[in-house]
Amino acid sequence: MFEARFTEASLLKKILDAIKDLVQDANFECNESGVALQAMDNAHVSLVSLLLRGEGFDLYRVDKPESLGINLNSMSKIMRCAGNNDSVTMDKVESADTVRFLFESPSADRMSEFHLKLMDIDSETLEIPEAMYHAEVELPSAELRRIVADLVTMGDSVRVSVSKEGVRFTVKGDEGSGSVILRQSTGVDKPEDAIHVLMNEPVEQSFALKYLNLFCKAAPLSARVQIKLSRDAPLLVNYAMSNVGHLAFYLAPKIGDEEDEQ
Amino acid sequence: MDRDSPEVEDYEEVSVPEECELAEYDDAPAEAPLEGGGVEWRAGTSDRLTVEALRGTFGRPPVPSGFRMGQEALLFNQTACDYVVERGEEGHESAVIRVYGVTGEGHSVLCRVHGFLPYFYVAAPADWDESVLESFREALESTMAKFAGDERHGAADAVVGVSLVERRSVLYYRPEAEGGKFVRIAVRTPAQLRQAANLLRDGHVMRMPFELYDSTIDHVLRFMIDKDMVGCSWVELPAGSYTPLPDAALLSNTQIAVEVSWEWLTSHAPTKEWLRSAPLRILSLDIECAGRKGVFPEPDKDSVIQIACHVSVYGGSAALHRAVFTLNTCAMIPGVHVYSFDDEAELLQAFRNFCVAVDPDILTGYNIVNFDLPYLLNRAAHLRASRFPFLGRVRLARTQMRKTKMSSSAFGTHDSMVFSIEGRVVMDMMQVIIREYKLRSYSLNSVASEFLDEQKEDVHYSIISDLQAGNEHTRRRLAVYCLKDAYLPQRLMEKLLALTNYTELARVTGVPLDWLLSRGHMVKVVSLLHRKATRVGLLVPDLPRKQGDSGGGGDSGPQYEGATVIEPKKGFYRMPIATLDFASLYPSIMMAHNLCYSTLVRESDVKRLRPEDYVRSPLGHCFVRPTVRKGILSVILEELLQSRKVAKRDMAAATEPFLKEVLNGRQMALKISANAVYGFTGASTGKLPCMEISASVTAFGRQMIELTKNAVESMYPGAEVVYGDTDSVMVKFGDDIRLERVMALGAEAAAALTRRFPPPVKLEFEKAYFPYLLISKKRYAGLLWTRPEQHDKMDCKGIESVRRDNCRLVANVVSAVLRKLLVDQDVDGAIEFVKRVVSELLQNKIDLSLLVVSKTLTRDVEKYEAKQAHVFLVEKLRKRDRGSAPGLGDRVPYVIIKGATKDEKAYMRAEDPIYVLENGTPIDAQYYLENMLRKPLERIFSAVMKRPEQLFSGAHTRSIHVTAPRAGSGITKFAKFRLQCVGCRAAINEAELARLGLTGTALCAHCRQREPEWYRKTLHQAVALEKQYNALWTQCQACMGSCVQDVLCSNGDCPIFYRRRKVQKDITEAYATLARFSDAW
């Protein structure tokens, strides 16, 4: 038996919106500590890692670890039937081949129930070894989304460089080039707008904007986003969800020829 | 096609003094120091490989000394004919016909035929009589001289004979003006004929234009027609009628060379004892060139490094001789003569001498016409190997080649090379197969696997250079490969009975053998028409040829309505369906209604005929009845079909397999020819198009199909015509009528209906389909029964997609489904089968080789306008590694992988199958489902189930496999794969295992108690994989014919190749897994 309840459907909706363009089918690994999902996009350039801790749920119960294979598009269709403030209960009895979604309105006068057929997804699990990053930047997620949205119109890849100056995003395209620089700011008036740049070593790497743009769809999940980078290592874009868990994206840097092509 | 075609691109002439050419043989050593089997000829000794020396080993059986040339009759099987214009002693030019062939004992013959003059006719004005002729002749001659601008050159007395004759034109029946006056004009050479004809046509002679008749016929064909000689016939020169050619040895490379006057030569009709063939010699060859990486070999840069030759005798399957000529040393090969050279020019020369010594009648190979032969000739020219291009049977005739463009409605437009190799027929098996079969691919690999059911080793040309650069053993390796490529075309020729069938076609239609490959369908009918017309005193008018409007390629003259198709009543019929066929529909219509050029009545003449003397076709064209005049097309068709009946009867009676094959080839040739007659009348760009005939034929056809349908349905209440096309209707007599009964009803209906049609139209019942799956127009499948005890075969029309851009999986699944539906009649089983395949595809369990699509890169990547998958892939591969990327002319195999984002088009997602195998790149299973499998399968299943789309959705599609590449680019380079439990696939937590004191990482803590079982399973898997690998490896070794050397093959068309790579990778993985078990194991 597996059972988990969210107070608000909106969180689950936002998570799905953030990852369904990158990943079509994935296993939700459910065990005592929580629900985890990990998957690569088709081109194996990025990795999505979602963790929802058990404590973050209204109710959470796992008798035996379960792996729920789900087509994210189908799940997203079902989730669209839930009101943003509805509570969501997902449950599955052992050996069932469906998972049930139960939506209840806050006033408890409307209840709806959907069953999603499960898939058997045979995939391997990956992990990105935790490492010391050369630089870490924390900024408002809306800010990152804006930068990426602006730059993606200019070119395919962005060069991210962190120096004492701050963090700079540079794009070059057929029509021209552009860059945005963010400096350290404490955000005296509005702490949520603060920009923290922590640099152990200057670092500069190129990334495909196409993917960054997809990652930024997670912005509604969290007001703040962390990006971490090291030379010759994947970029980490992390959206922390207070008390619940996190949605992290890893993106392989463009190297050598790939960069020159741009 | 014309000898004086404007796009002649003559092979660059290398000037050679003639003495040099003749001197070649003077220093021939008297002894022939060669012995059979495994002889290696050391480099530098090639000057001893003269024709004479080589004849000792490879030559034809010697002519017995007892043969008294000229005093006994000379009988030979002619294989080729040509003519040459020579200047005689008296200063006149004349065209000498040369007939080449082989005697029953296998001696080669060149027969020069003198005295046959080219001639043609013009319509004479009504008031002409004998008295005008001399002035006409003078006028013609002087005009010719004036236009030739050179009176000395024989034009002065070019016109040898002018006579007034009574003939008729083959076109139109004219009620009163029967018989007309024509002038027969004989000249000395075909060129003069052309000139005279053009001048007469254009009104330059006597200031009036003349209508031309019989003027465009080829001189050789004219000769053959007048001598009643057909292609590949036996020719006899009576004793005393011919003389040995003086200086024979200097003029010809044949064993017997004679001269004869044309009246004496007789040709035997190919029946009874003259059905057989002489022991023709077939030389199949293949060359290898030193390629540079990424570039297709070019004759001015890349040398010819090997030439392999396989010599056989027609009718005998064993090799007569095998030889290979190599540049640089080569180790011995048992049963093969190996000749090695340091100098490439010497190698080429030795091959040329070999070719002349073997003296083959047929030269074959695979794509030799457009690759091997031009390459050799161009290479020889580049190396200034001036004595090389003399491959024919006439000693001083230089082998020439030129480009031609052949346009034919049946074969499309092709650029091709044409060679003049006197007396030898070039029969390129690639051209034969392209003409006769529709295949996915025409590479030698796929053709061999299609017809010989064996895979062929394919050594990539980049490897060829490495082998050549190695030692004598690597070169031997290459030689063995090259020999196999020379052997395969010969085997294909044998297996497909190509020579047998073409010989019979030449005999039936009367054209020379080599024309069958170098020209279109029309020439056969031209030959038949002229042969018949000449015999009955009809002349064929030479209408100005309609040129296809340049640019407007689709405009092919007046269109007329084609055959009718009865709307199919789609469905899966589980009861027997009888098929009523009109036997030879179009020919029999033409015979029944006497449709012919010579019976067509001009509308203005119709009123002068009695109504009972003509028929009006459904389209309103009038043709006289046979009682008035029998059309010559009817006569031709009658004879063809009568001969076919005889051939079929003889075939049934024949006991000797070879004779049976010959007769079968003949009856097919007769059928093809009979059907070609209709096409000839309808070809608007042809020699004598006549839409009145062809349109009437199809109109009668449509009427007859309609009539049949209505008659059957009214004769048998409850019967229903479910489908009908061109010449057949499919009848369902009822829902539960047994097969025997249906067959009886079918035969009865056919007989009853035949009586309603004018003879020789015949409706036949030959087969029933049971069950019958009718999908749409021209698409159906069924089990075919000709007798009620046992079905004959599964018959599919228009279903098995031969489209090349399909992967093998489609054909495999389609044929398995049809087998289940039709043979097992198991609809549920078929559905289950498809679901299983779909499921396996989603789980990545389908053999990759089944998913490979391959296309040839036919032009430079930049020249492709439309984005195509294989072109895109080549660009990608060039970026990866320029050297190994496919080049022009290479086949590019690819599979479609998943895209990074949704908007990547399918063509951008093509990937090299090897790369996919090695990197574990995920295949786009959805693409294969939607774009490959879905349409053909839904089409089939739409007849048996209501919602065929269910095949592609549902529970079976919910189990998938997501591959993660082990190596390569992207995120995986940085990621660590978490080990999974061999038992339950749960992630292995190494720290946890260590804490529990467990060694090995194969199993999670839960599965530990079953460790022995899992170990055994894993070990079994590894062993099974090894066995599989060994089997595959053995197969590849067998294919390359050696078990001590590395397999070098990279044949992208071969499923074994991919499987070998896949298993190789799986083994590595299996052993890695085994190593994860704890030390105890």
Domain assignment of residue B15, yes or no: no
Q: Please list, in sequence order, all residues whose beta carbon lies within 8 angstroms of the beta carbon of residue B423, skipping any fewer than 6 positions away.
A: B79, B80, B82, B98, B100, B108, B110, B254, B361, B392, B393, B394
Same domain, B289 and B366: yes
Q: Whole-angstrom Cα distance, residue B281 to residue B273?
A: 20
Mean pLDDT of B642-667: 82
Domain assignment of residue B984, yes or no: no
> Which of B797, B826, B854 finishes a domain?
B797
* CATH code where residue B650 lies: 3.90.1600.10
Q: What is the pLDDT of residue B6?
A: 32
pLDDT of residue B353 exceeding 70: yes
Q: Give B698→chain A minimum CA distance, Å.
A: 56
B53-84 per-position pLDDT tens digit: 888 889 888 888 777 777 888 899 999 999 99
- Secondary structure of B330-394 in HEC code, one letter for each residue: CCCCCCCEEEEECCHHHHHHHHHHHHHHHCCCEEEECCHHHHHHHHHHHHHHHCCCCCCCCCCCE
Residue of A nearest to B920 (CA): A44
Residues 893..912 of B with a Cβ closer than 8 Å to A: which?
Answer: 898-902
Domain assignment of residue B531, yes or no: no
- Cβ neighbours of B845 in A, within 8 Å: none
3-class secondary structure, A22:
coil
Q: Do B960 and A210 touch (CB under 8 A)?
A: no
Sheet holding B853-856, edge to edge: B853-856, B891-896, B910-911
Domain assignment of residue B19, yes or no: no
From the list A40, A45, A119, the residue facing B959 with the nearest CB is: A119
Q: Report whether B214 contacts B185 (CB < 8 A).
A: no
Complex ipTM more than 0.90, yes or no = no
Domain assignment of residue B1020, yes or no: no
- Which domains, ranges and CATH numbers included, belong to chain A? 2-117 (3.10.150.10), 135-261 (3.70.10.10)
Same domain, B297 and B264: no
Q: What is the pLDDT of residue B42?
A: 44
Mean pLDDT of B563-574: 83
Domain assignment of residue B66, yes or no: no
- B39 — pLDDT class (breaks 50, 70, 90): very low
Q: Nearest CA to B187 among B96, B89, B133, B120? A: B120
B858-898 per-position pLDDT tens digit: 777 777 777 788 888 888 888 777 666 777 767 788 888 88
Q: Give A232→chain B minimum CA distance, Å.
A: 9
Q: What is the pLDDT of residue B178?
A: 62
Q: What is the pLDDT of residue B938?
A: 85
B695-752 per-position pLDDT tens digit: 888 888 888 888 888 888 888 888 888 898 878 888 888 888 888 888 888 888 888 8
Q: What is the pLDDT of residue B310?
A: 94
Q: What is the pLDDT of residue A248?
A: 94
Average pLDDT, chain B: 81
Residue in the block written with tokens 């080829």: B218
pLDDT of residue B50 exceeding 50: yes
Same domain, B615 and B571: yes
Same domain, B812 and B790: no
Mean pLDDT of A47-65: 89
- Cβ neighbours of B843 in A, within 8 Å: 122
Rounded to the nearest 10 degrees, what angle do helices B585-592 and B632-653 cross at?
A: 130
Note whether B991 contacts A: Cβ–Cβ < 8 A: no
**C-beta contacts of A232-240 below 8 A and 24+ residues apart:** A232/A205, A233/A131, A233/A133, A233/B974, A234/A47, A234/A128, A234/B971, A234/B974, A235/A160, A235/A205, A235/A207, A236/A128, A236/A133, A237/A144, A237/A212, A239/A18, A239/A141
Mean pLDDT of B310-317: 86
Mean pLDDT of B332-356: 91
B898-949 per-position pLDDT tens digit: 876 666 777 888 888 888 877 777 888 888 888 888 888 888 888 788 788 8
Same domain, B708 and B658: yes
> Which of B489, B510, B531 finishes a domain?
B510
pLDDT of residue A178 exceeding 80: yes
- Cβ neighbours of B882 in A, within 8 Å: none
- Cβ neighbours of B962 in A, within 8 Å: 25, 39, 121-124
Q: What is the pLDDT of residue B315?
A: 80
**Which two structure tokens, joined as six digits, stand for B156?**
């002065």
Q: Do B922 and A39 touch (CB under 8 A)?
A: no
Percentage of chain A beyond pLDDT 90 is 53
pLDDT of residue B969 exceeding 80: no
Q: Whole-angstrom Cα distance, residue A51 to residue A15?
A: 11
pLDDT of residue B220 exceeding 60: yes
Q: Whole-angstrom Cα distance, residue B667 to residue B664?
A: 5
Same domain, B884 and B774: no
- B555 — pLDDT class (breaks 50, 70, 90): very low
Q: Report whether B384 contacts B345 (CB < 8 A).
A: yes
Highest mean pLDDT of the ranges B127-131, B151-155, B1044-1048: B127-131
Residue in B844, B962, B969 to test binding to A, most A beta-carbons within 10 Å = B962
Note whether B959 contacts A: Cβ–Cβ < 8 A: yes
Q: What is the pLDDT of residue B549?
A: 38
Chain A, chain B: beta-carbon pairs less than 8 Å apart: 100
Q: Report whether B310 contacts B320 (CB < 8 A).
A: no
Domain assignment of residue B623, yes or no: yes
Q: Do B978 and A127 touch (CB under 8 A)?
A: yes
Lowest mean pLDDT among A94-103, B410-419, B732-741, B857-866: B410-419
Same domain, B335 and B470: yes
Mean pLDDT of B30-49: 44
Percentage of chain B beyond pLDDT 70 is 88
Domain span at residue B660 reads 543-797
Domain assignment of residue B6, yes or no: no
Average pLDDT, chain A: 88
Q: Report whether B276 contacts B234 (CB < 8 A).
A: no
Residue in B958, B980, B988, B992 to test binding to A, most A beta-carbons within 10 Å = B958
Note whether B977 contacts A: Cβ–Cβ < 8 A: yes
Q: What is the pLDDT of residue B41?
A: 42
Same domain, B627 and B766: yes
Residue in A20, A25, A27, A44 to test binding to B, most B beta-carbons within 10 Å = A44
Same domain, B349 and B467: yes
Q: Report whether B523 contacts B682 (CB < 8 A).
A: no
Q: What is the pLDDT of residue B36?
A: 37
Q: Whole-angstrom Cα distance, residue B502 to residue B426?
A: 12
Q: What is the pLDDT of residue A247?
A: 95
Same domain, B891 and B904: yes
Mean pLDDT of A172-177: 88
Highest mean pLDDT of the ranges B22-31, B357-366, B976-985: B357-366
A121-147 per-position pLDDT tens digit: 877 777 788 778 899 999 999 999 999
B491-542 per-position pLDDT tens digit: 999 888 888 888 888 888 889 998 888 777 788 888 988 998 888 888 888 8
Give the other-Cβ count within 10 Å of A190's Cβ.
Answer: 8
* CATH code where residue B198 lies: 2.40.50.730
Q: Give A105→chain B minimum CA distance, Å.
A: 31
Q: What is the pLDDT of residue B12?
A: 29
Give the H or E element holding residue A181: strand A177-182
* CATH code where residue B365 lies: 3.30.420.10
- Cβ neighbours of A217 in B, within 8 Å: none
Instruction: Kindly provide the b/e burial profile for residues B1004-1020, where b requires at least 16 CB atoms within 10 angstroms of the residue's own CB.
Output: beebbeebeebbeebee
> Which of B460, B491, B510 finishes a domain?
B510
Backbone angles phi and psi of B389, in degrees to 5: -75, 55
What's the domain count of chain B? 4
Q: What is the pLDDT of residue B1081?
A: 63
- Cβ neighbours of A257 in B, within 8 Å: 879
Instruction: Kindly provide the b/e burial profile for residues B384-396, where b requires at least 16 CB atoms within 10 angstroms of the residue's own CB.
Output: ebbbbbbbbbbbe
Q: Whole-angstrom Cα distance, residue A101 to residue A116?
A: 8
Q: Whole-angstrom Cα distance, residue B276 to residue A191?
A: 103
With vertex at residue B301, the alpha carbon angle to CA B299 and CA B302, rounded to the nearest 5 degrees, is 70
Note whether B984 contacts A: Cβ–Cβ < 8 A: no
Same domain, B271 and B297: no
Same domain, B709 and B842: no
Indicate the Cα dihedral angle B710, B714, B717, B719, nearest 10°: -20
From the list B922, B969, B977, the residue facing A124 with the nearest CB is: B977
